[in-house]
A = this chain, B = another copy of it.
Amino acid sequence: MDFDYSAKTKELQARLLAFMDEHIYPNESVYLEEIAANRAKGNAWIPTRIIEELKPKARAAGLWNLFLPKSSRAPQGLSNLEYAPLCEIMGRVPWAPEVFNCSAPDTGNMETLERYGSEDNKDQWLEPLLRGEIRSAFLMTEPAVASSDATNIECSMRREGDEYVINGRKWWSSGVGDPRCAILIVMGKTDTEAPRHSQQSMILVPTNTQGVNVIRPLTIFGYDDAPHGHMEVELKDVRVPVGNLLVGEGKGFSIAQGRLGPGRIHHCMRSIGVAERALELMCQRLNKRVAFGKPLSAQGVWRERIAESRCMIEQARLLTLKAAYMMDTVGNKVAQAQIAMIKIVAPNMSLQIIDWAMQAHGAAGISGDTPLAYAYAYQRTLRFADGPDEVHRNALAKMELA
Binding site for B on A (CB under 8 A): 1-6, 9, 81, 141, 143, 146-149, 152, 171-172, 218-224, 279, 283, 286-287, 289-292, 296-297, 299-304, 306-311, 314-316, 318-319, 321-322, 325-326, 329, 337-338, 340-341, 344-345, 358-359, 362-369, 373-374, 376-377, 380-381, 383-385, 388-394, 396-398, 400-401
Q: How far is the CB of A197 from chain B (nearest CB, A)?
A: 13
Q: Cα distance A366–B222 when bound, in Å? A: 9
In the complex, the chain B residue whose C-beta lies closest to that of A218 is B367
Cβ contact of A368, chosen from B2, B218, B388, cutoff 8 A:
B218
Other A-B pairs beyond A1-B4, A311-B345, 18, CB < 8 Å:
A2-B2, A3-B326, A172-B363, A219-B222, A220-B222, A220-B373, A222-B224, A301-B390, A306-B401, A307-B392, A307-B397, A308-B344, A310-B397, A314-B319, A315-B345, A318-B318, A363-B381, A365-B384
Q: Are B381 and A141 closer than 8 Å at their CB atoms? A: no
Q: How far is the CB of A103 from chain B (nearest CB, A)?
A: 19
* Given A223-B221, A300-B394, A315-B316: A359 and B152 interface contact (C-beta under 8 Å): no
Residue numbers in B under 8 Å from A385 (CB-CB): 363
Cβ contact of A146, chosen from B306, B362, B369, cutoff 8 A:
B362
How would you classify the secondary structure of chain A's contact residues: helix, strand, loop or mixed? helix
13 inter-chain pairs at a CB distance below 8 angstroms, sorted by A residue, are A2-B2, A3-B322, A4-B329, A219-B367, A221-B366, A221-B377, A222-B374, A300-B302, A310-B337, A311-B341, A314-B338, A359-B384, A359-B390
* Given A223-B221, A307-B392, A401-B286: A321 and B1 interface contact (C-beta under 8 Å): yes
Q: Are B221 and A400 closer than 8 Å at their CB atoms? A: no
Q: How far is the CB of A145 from chain B (nearest CB, A)?
A: 8
In the complex, the chain B residue whose C-beta lies closest to that of A9 is B1
Residue numbers in B under 8 Å from A311 (CB-CB): 319, 341, 344-345, 396
Residue numbers in B under 8 Å from A224 (CB-CB): 222
Cβ contact of A306, chosen from B5, B314, B400, cutoff 8 A:
B400
In the complex, the chain B residue whose C-beta lies closest to that of A220 is B366
Q: Cα distance A5–B1 when bound, in Å? A: 5
Q: Are A366 and B380 closer than 8 Å at their CB atoms? A: yes
Q: Are B1 and A393 closer than 8 Å at their CB atoms? A: no
Among all A-B residue pairs, the 5 with the closest Cβ atoms: A222-B222, A300-B300, A222-B223, A315-B315, A307-B393
Q: Cα distance A365–B219 when bound, in Å? A: 10
* Given A315-B345, A341-B310, A344-B311: A146 and B289 interface contact (C-beta under 8 Å): yes
Cβ contact of A367, chosen from B9, B152, B220, B398, cutoff 8 A:
B220
In the complex, the chain B residue whose C-beta lies closest to that of A383 is B359
Q: Are B222 and A373 closer than 8 Å at their CB atoms? A: yes
Q: Are B400 and A307 closer than 8 Å at their CB atoms? A: yes
Q: How far is the CB of A367 from chain B (nearest CB, A)?
A: 5
Residue numbers in B under 8 Å from A219 (CB-CB): 222, 367-368, 373
* Given A301-B304, A325-B3: A310 and B143 interface contact (C-beta under 8 Å): no
